[in-house]
Amino acid sequence: NAGVTQTPKFQVLKTGQSMTLQCAQDMNHEYMSWYRQDPGMGLRLIHYSVGAGITDQGEVPNGYNVSRSTTEDFPLRLLSAAPSQTSVYFCASSYKGFLGEKLFFGSGTQLSVL
């Protein structure tokens, strides 16, 4: 099993450009989510999904879109990149257990917006 795979690992964008961060998991997890990590701010939830066709907003959703057409994939789209979106992005997945299940994280994407 590859676990949670994120691509690309690094990306530099110009302000106003759009791009998609890819996330795929091969563990048949129902729950998938996207976090951004900024220095001193911990992990902040952007969007999440509890199953194919179902998505919802997290704490910091503005400027990002997601979709979940399959169980395996959960791409994150930046519509018009801004310098404030410079961050490290992590995708995570887990089973949808009653008491909560451990999250498996991808290796992250370091994004710089100039």
Alpha carbon distance, N-terminus to C-terminus of the chain = 36
Distance CA 87, CA 84 (A): 8
Binding characters for another protein, 5-34, by CB under 8 A (x = yes): --------------------------x-x-
Report the site for another protein in 50-79 (rule: CB under 8 A).
50, 58
Binding characters for another protein, 80-99, by CB under 8 A (x = yes): ----------x-x-x-xxxx
Residues 9 and 110: beta-carbon distance below 8 Å: yes
14/99 with CB nearer another protein: 99
Q: Of 24, 36, 48, 55, which one interacts with another protein (CB under 8 A)? A: 48
Distance CA 67, CA 70 (A): 9
